[in-house]
Amino acid sequence: MPGQHPHEDVTGVVLAGGLARRMGGVDKGLVSVRGRELVRYVVEALQPQVRDLIVNANRNQEIYARLGFRVVADAPPGFHGPLAGMASAMRVASTPFIATVPCDSPFVPADLVGRLYRARVAANATIAVAHDGERLQPVFALIDCRRLDSLVAFLARGERKIDRWYDGERTTTADFSDSPRTFLNLNTPEDVASTEALLMP
């Protein structure tokens, strides 16, 4: 059936490790949107698609832990970008793959992981990344955990750009041009206001 995939093979990872400078330094995952923390929208959409779920967070870890999932920080400590969060999650995941999403995108579709998984299988790739029809959306990705050593070596060289790591891997894309709302994210207080309007019943 459409949307099916071996969800037992996948750990979901919510990336909440950034500094959120455009949000005034406020932890974006914990911003209230229509009375609920933003991360809760993301978790509720992702959890049914995966076996386990991990939150990558470098601050407010005790608050994120209240969601009931494992919380891991970047290793080494600091704010080193999404690749560091991916590496930390890959280290502790008990499944062959991780599927990553950012904490500030509340419209994660119910078939996100399935579409990424099928794209990976079709291309015999180790990484599948969402594409919105115009550009890559690199933090919406399915990644083979066997690529951890490659990622650790990449970070050890001082590299941080996610696209550069993908370019060196067997990476394919999954077409999400029919689902542009997937990639709406909240970077500013104005974004919060507009998203609240979209979430109104």
pLDDT band with cut points at 50, 70 and 90 for residue 120: very high
Query: In this predicted structure, what is the pLDDT of residue 1?
Result: 37
Buried residues in 100-139 as b, exposed as e (16+ CB within 10 A):
bbbbbbbbbbebbbbbbbbbbeeeebbbbbbbbeeebbbb
1 belongs to a structural domain: no
200 belongs to a structural domain: no
Q: In this structure, what DSSP letter does residue 128 have?
A: E
Q: Token match 């970077």: residue? A: 187
Q: How many distinct structural domains can be found in the chain? A: 1
CATH no. for residue 157? Answer: 3.90.550.10
pTM: 0.90
CB 44 within 8 A of CB 132: no
Residue range 138-150, pLDDT digits in tens: 999 999 999 999 9
Tokens of residue 116, six digits: 């990424």
30 belongs to a structural domain: yes
Query: In this predicted structure, what is the pLDDT of residue 200?
Result: 54
* Maximum Cα–Cα distance across the chain: 48
152 belongs to a structural domain: yes
Residue 95, phi-psi category: left (phi > 0), alpha (psi -120 to 50), beta (remainder):
beta
Q: Which residues contact 154 (CB under 8 A, 6 or more apart)?
A: 83, 164, 165, 168
User: How many C-beta atoms lie closer than 10 Å to residue 75's C-beta?
Assistant: 15
Q: Report the C-alpha gap between 179 and 192 in whole angstroms.
A: 20
Q: What is the arithmetic mean of pLDDT over 123-148? A: 97
Residue range 145-174, pLDDT digits in tens: 999 999 999 999 999 999 999 999 999 999
2 belongs to a structural domain: no
Domain that holds residue 113: 7-195
